[in-house]
Structure 1
Amino acid sequence: MLANLLLVEDDPEIANVICDTFRHEGYAVTWATTGLEGWEDFKSSTYDLVLVDLMLPEMDGLTLCKNIRWDSDVPIIIISARQEDAMKVEGLDIGADDYVAKPFSLHELKARVASHLRRWHRYQGVEEAAETSTFENGLTLYMDERKVFIDEKEIVLTVKEFDLLRLLAQNPSRVFTKEELFAHVWQQIDHEDLHTVTVHVKSLREKLGDPVKNSLFIQTVWGKGYRFIGEER
């Protein structure tokens, strides 16, 4: 297998052509038909590259790209019929690595995929020290082991609490809305249940000993959401 690809495309005709082409070349391809399905697939497996259409049901392509980029540096190629420069710029600004306009040449798409995979595999060959993150005031996150310590004492977090903390800590100073946190961590877009985010952030703060006033790690940005302010050591 050359690489494991995730294709998120709601047009079955286009998707089938792409899947058949890359599978014939020796790639493994997972096909998702909605943005939310693509996000669920991404969270449940490991991919070397993601191909994303912009006009998707349930979760649009730009939102999906943002969710993926907050969680991973995996190459993302947008495939879209939207050819406006502003849309291309927005896609690249949120973290996509390339933008291919429909209709496209399969030869060109294969070449671009191969090029990004070469860079990605070289990047992965470099040892990264990001598996453990240590911050002032005694906070340490072990990403692979999903463990959290305060002053060398382990803090037991739920799955969602750890996912919230990891997302915030991996994107320091970025303000996340409750809608963004709910879509990313709970993989849902039901905005009527955003109180769940508030409850989990409150519980996370209590376990970390992080007061709302004079916050050490998670700061509330009133009217907007939350951001991580811990200083990395």
Structure 2
Amino acid sequence: MGEKLLIVEDDEAIAGILKEHLQKEGYDIVWSSGGKEGLEDFKNGDFDLVILDLMLPEMDGFSLCKNIRWLDKEVPIIIVSARQEDFDKVKGLKLGADDYITKPFSLVEVSARVEAHLRRFRNTNFSSDSNTGINFLHGLTVFPEGNSVFLNGEEISLTSKEFQLLNLMMQNPNKIFSKEELYENIWENIDISGNNTVTVHIKALREKLKDSIKNPDFIQTVWGVGYKFIGERII
């Protein structure tokens, strides 16, 4: 099959069992031992499915699930957790998880759930064309796969963080992101002292996009809350 799976689990024994079993099933497995590491691995890889625990160091599974779903709307996410309360299951599913398996689990059940979600993913997934840009009114064109941005036909030189900020908000139009959420996703850190870092990068991004704070075309400040992308896409 060759599908690539990400397992985010801090219990080395459980992770080892899952990894060995799924590798025997023919999957390519990457293991992350913490939430922050898992988010970094997800950003740097091209995964077909994610399996994650809820009790993780540095960034818990709920936050990781939320951040992954912002980055990718389609990749299947399966939570495997010892938490059996309905509240946790509902919260995980509302954050974008596709399935919830409680520990202890059957390896046969895990295989069946993985295959079922991958089957759906295969039917809906398609390859992105790096040569196809996403166009917005007021002259903005973004190439997500090529990490490039053009304004009125001229390429804009963005830093890696500036591009990630723009791409994240663009992929989630009209969603209000708090500074904490942006810092958590882009800098992979939950330290709220990073709020000023976000402010500085948003300011620089706006300047490069020639976007007015008072009458923005792309990034709107929601005072006291955060920012949202309001660009009107041209279909």
Query: Mapping of 1:44-59 within 5 angstroms?
Result: 44-59=44-59
Counterpart in the other structure of 1:230: 231
CA distance in 2, matches of 1:78, 1:4: 17
Counterpart in the other structure of 1:80: 81
Instruction: Give the Å deviation of 1:188.
Output: 2.0
Counterpart in the other structure of 2:139: 138
Query: Mapping of 1:154-193 within 5 angstroms?
Result: 154-193=155-194
State yes or no: 1:13 paired with 2:13. Answer: yes
Counterpart of 2:58 in structure 1: which amino acid? E
CA distance in 1, matches of 2:13, 2:150: 50
Counterpart in the other structure of 2:212: 211
Counterpart of 1:135 in structure 2: which amino acid? F
Counterpart of 1:121 in structure 2: which amino acid? R
Moved >3 Å (runs of 4+): 125-131
SS in 1 for 2:97: coil
The 1:131–1:190 alpha-carbon spacing in structure 2 relative to 1, beyond 3 Å, is: farther
Counterpart in the other structure of 2:197: 196
Instruction: Give the Å deviation of 1:126.
Output: 7.4
**Unmatched 5+ stretches in structure 1:** none
CA distance in 2, matches of 1:92, 1:66: 10
Q: C-alpha deviations, 1:68-114, integer Å up to 9, x for none?
A: 11111211001111112221111111111111111111101100001
SS in 2 for 1:109: helix
The 1:126–1:161 alpha-carbon spacing in structure 2 relative to 1, beyond 3 Å, is: closer
Instruction: Give the Å deviation of 1:31.
Output: 1.1
Counterpart in the other structure of 2:111: 110
Instruction: Give the Å deviation of 1:46.
Output: 1.2
CA distance in 1, matches of 2:205, 2:126: 34
Instruction: Give the Å deviation of 1:2.
Output: 2.7
After TM superposition, the structure 1 stretch with the greater mean CA deviation from structure 2, 128-137 or 15-24, is: 128-137
After TM superposition, the structure 1 stretch with the greater mean CA deviation from structure 2, 72-81 or 188-197, is: 188-197
Instruction: Give the Å deviation of 1:175.
Output: 0.7
SS in 2 for 1:79: strand
Counterpart in the other structure of 1:35: 35
After TM superposition, the structure 1 stretch with the greater mean CA deviation from structure 2, 15-24 or 165-174, is: 15-24
Counterpart of 1:11 in structure 2: which amino acid? D
Q: C-alpha deviations, 1:34-65, integer Å up to 9, x for none?
A: 10011111111111110010111100001101
Counterpart in the other structure of 2:95: 94
CA distance in 2, matches of 1:134, 1:154: 13
Task: Calculate the aligned-residue CA RMSD, in Å.
Answer: 1.7
The 1:187–1:2 alpha-carbon spacing in structure 2 relative to 1, beyond 3 Å, is: same
How high is the sequence identity, in percent, across the aligned residues? Answer: 54
Counterpart of 1:103 in structure 2: which amino acid? P
Instruction: Give the Å deviation of 1:125.
Output: 4.0
Instruction: Give the Å deviation of 1:131.
Output: 5.1
SS in 1 for 2:96: coil
TM-score by length of 1: 0.95
SS in 2 for 1:194: helix
After TM superposition, the structure 1 stretch with the greater mean CA deviation from structure 2, 111-120 or 190-199, is: 190-199
CA contact (8 A) 2:130 2:143 kept: no
